[in-house]
Structure 1
Amino acid sequence: MIGNETPIWRLLRSAGGADDDIRAAIEEIGEAPAAALMADEVASRCEPPPGGSSGIQPYPSGGSSGIRPDPPGGSFDIQLELAGAGRSHPYVLSVSASGVTASAATAEDPAALIVYDLVALARALYGTGVHGEARVEVNWPPAERLGEAIASIHALARAVESVLTACRSAETNLDRLATRFGSDKYGTMHWYTPHYARYFSPLRDELVRVLEIGVGGYHDPASGGASLRMWQRYFRRGLVFGLDLFPKTGVQGPRIRTLAGDQGDPAALRALAEEHGPFDIVIDDGSHMNAHVLVALRELFPHVRPGGLYVVEDVQTSYWPMFGGGRDVPGTTAEFAKTVIDGLNHREFADPGHVPSYFDGHVVAAHFHHNLMVLEKGDNHEQAAPSWIPRR
């Protein structure tokens, strides 16, 4: 912690300012820890190049340096040098069709070298506007083996492009991200991401805190987290929290934190919100039990920032008895949703004795899609129609 801030939040916050602000944040965090955070970020964003015979790999240790064609499933190393004020921080990005990892080390014979200034990389990853470019050098083999390098030059170009793209941009297509990370929010069970793109895009480049209830994977501590990784990639300046009934110690990411707790426990939800909120977005993809959904709404909606969003997925369980639902059954998500419509217009009630609820006063818009509810947070105190218009 730095004061009341975590290192990553300090870095995210500074990246929207001047270079001196970013430099000061890096000094407070420490160059090495800041470099480690950014290297992990690059690895998490890096889209693996396609596998097959176009894969490339360094020559074995002690052999000729350079690149060569490799059979399907091959991998290669790219050296990422992060230049600080007084020293360079080397990382090896091991790239294959199955994924990308980063380790603090120096590659013996890297396929390519990418050099990025730490301040420039922080701005490129987490800031806005113009950013500096990296320096790239290809580690070519001796002339007598140049033909092999030429044969794999397009694979190397794709690999280098993948790393550079990860360094400087965010992915904006949520449908694609859901598919890439294996989330069921698009293309299979649900079709939520087109709606999310509509509501979340204004916040995409902002400093945000996103909480999703339900990590997935049940008892397995390393299973689940597909949508957390999707949100981490989409909100490039965001912190992503995942709440699950089971500990999810194996679900990790540079800006992901998982928390164990019961969404049906009001005290646990209040403690979570006090420690990690306020949130800009809350997404309930948890137990889908109607009673739990309403507990979470009551406890967490007050901890959503003005202008933020509260989303409930899988509203269809309002109609399923197994989840405490049924057609016109009190206490379901759908029945609550019907009260939201009244609450939006509470200042127009002809009943002068009505006492507005918290939701009456702070839901400023409600959007309903198939199995999806989106509530916008704000101050719902728009003036009522003139009093001289007859009500009765």
Structure 2
Amino acid sequence: MTGSLVQRLLAAADAPDPGVHLAAEDPEAVVAVAMAEVAGRTVLYPGPATPLTVQIDVDVADARQISYLLAAGPDGGQARPGRADDPWVRVRYDLAALVRDVFGPAGPWTGTGRDVVMKDEPGPVEYKPDDPWLVRREEATRAAYQALRACEPYRGDLAALALRFGSDKWGGHWYTSHYERHLGGFRDHRLNLLEIGIGGYHEPDAGGASLRMWKHYFHRGSVYGLDVYDKSLLDEPRLTTLRGDQADPAMLADLARRHGPFDIVIDDGSHVSSHVITAFQALFPYVRPGGVYVIEDLHTSYWPEWGGNGTDLSDPATSVGFLKTLVDGLHHRDRLHDGSYQPTYPDLTVTGLHLYHNLAFVEKGRNTEQANATWRPRNDPMRDLPDPQRSAGE
């Protein structure tokens, strides 16, 4: 397999026998990447009130065992190589099962390849609520829960992730239910997602709430964020920040050639109408067929200071006015004209639009449905369409 190690592990997790694909990999590197993913997920689950270390032992070829110590606690924790003298919780995995659980599609645990051992009672225990051993055992149970859940994909809802990471896609706005309706089907896919606008303005370590939300919701996805400021301090496994201006079409096309094609593009950037239109025209060709392009915060389309127009509501130079042209393009085969009209790329590839308050979803595909009332006089501008993926650089 080619590509980054994370991408190879995602592909291996799809295979009936992940171990076949892992035979060519360095087990130390595989376990390190898996433990980084697990550690990043611990923040999603409640843990012990007092930090407690969970030892995770991974059986690899030649009877070797690679051990990591995962710090469980109220705010999650990090993982590092090592072993504890007498751990309260010990999780034992074989390597293929670890890759399957961490990087595979969501589903119930298969019941194979994993064992959990809790520390034995030291002797007769007086079962009182404040017994120190029992209190610690309760904390260890919570630590085990946090560690084991982090070894599997997150299955909760998007709003909970928005709250956890501080994204305004729920609360400041009410977008998450719409996102789940239109993007929930991608959840188990190995996808590429690009979001324009990272947040935090000029502060290099601020922002990124939505990117983290998307990373955990699309637990097998590669998430990219674009901002005019350098946000590289926010980079982590499966989350990459890029620097650039969404008003620069050449930069956007180069970015898409290097990191695309994309399954999902989300414009939560400047919200200036001209920038929104420029980004759509530059990036929509690099959305895969079946993918979705999303534009947020459409209220600025009516505000002159953002390049909007509150009087001419069909002004195509505004974000909403431009979306209205996509509606006409969606029906271009039914429009009567003198034969001089030639369909645009969006006319040929936009297959659906869904609009909500301040939020639009544009679906990508091949707009080739037969026109209604074909006997009406019109020319047929449909030609052999280019392969959208080939035009996107695949």
TM-score between both structures, scaled by the size of structure 2: 0.88
Superposition map of 1:344-355 within 5 A: 344-351=330-337, 352-355=339-342
Which residue number in structure 1 is paired with residue 384 of structure 2? none
- 1:273 and 2:249 aligned: no
Counterpart in the other structure of 2:375? 388
Does 1:216 pair with 2:207? no
Worse-superposed segment, 357-366 or 381-390: 381-390
Q: Which residue of 1 aligns with 2:78?
A: 101
| Distance in 2 (alpha carbons) for counterparts of 1:350 and 1:49 | 58
Does residue 134 of the first structure (1) align with residue 134 of the second (2)?
no
Residue 78 of structure 2: SS of its match in structure 1? strand
Q: How does 1:1-392 map to 2 (within 5 A)?
A: 3=2, 5-19=3-17, 22-47=18-43, 50=46, 55=49, 74-86=50-62, 87-128=64-105, 131=110, 132=112, 134-140=114-120, 142-143=122-123, 147-187=131-171, 189-327=172-310, 328=312, 329-351=315-337, 352-389=339-376
Determine helix, strand or coil for the equivalent of 1:171: coil
SS of the aligned residue for 2:329 comes to helix
Contact 2:276 2:319 in 1 (8 A): yes
- Work out the CA distance in 1 between the residues paired with 2:284 and 2:305: 26
Q: Which runs of 5+ in 1 are unaligned?
A: 56-73
Partner Cα distance (2:199, 2:146) in 1: 29
Per the alignment, residue 392 of structure 2 pairs with none
| Runs of 4 or more above 6 Å deviation | none
Root-mean-square deviation (Å): 2.0
Offset, 1:115: 1.0
Is the alpha carbon distance of 1:219 and 1:24 closer, same or farther for their aligned partners in structure 2, counting shifts above 3 Å?
farther
Amino acid at match of 1:283: I
Task: Measure the CA separation in 2 of the matches of 1:49 and 1:13.
Answer: 26
- 1:386 to partner: Cα distance: 3.1
Identical pairs, percent: 43
- After superposition, give the CA deviation of every residue in 1:299-355 in whole Å (9 maximum; x if it has no partner): 110000000000011111111222111222441111101101101100001113221
What CA distance in whole angstroms lies between the structure 2 residues aligned with 1:194 and 1:287?
Answer: 23
Amino acid at match of 2:333: R
Per-residue deviation, 1:49: 5.6
Instruction: Provide the rounded CA distance (Å) in 2 between the counterparts of 1:341 and 1:312.
Output: 15
Cross-structure match for 1:66? none
Per the alignment, do residues 245 and 168 of structure 1 end up closer, same or farther by CA in structure 2, a change over 3 Å counting? same
Report the residue type matching 2:226 in the other structure. Answer: L
Using the size of structure 1 for normalisation, the TM-score is: 0.88
Task: Give the superposition deviation at 1:107.
Answer: 2.6
Given that 2:12 and 2:22 are in contact with CA atoms closer than 8 Å, whether structure 1 keeps it comes out as no
Q: How many angstroms apart in 2 are the aligned matches of 1:308 and 1:217?
A: 28
Letter in 2 for 1:310: Y
Q: Which amino acid aligns with 1:191?
A: W
How far residue 266 of structure 1 moved from its aligned partner, in angstroms, is: 1.1
Q: CA deviation at 1:44?
A: 1.3
8 Å CA contact 1:79–1:114 kept in 2: the answer is yes
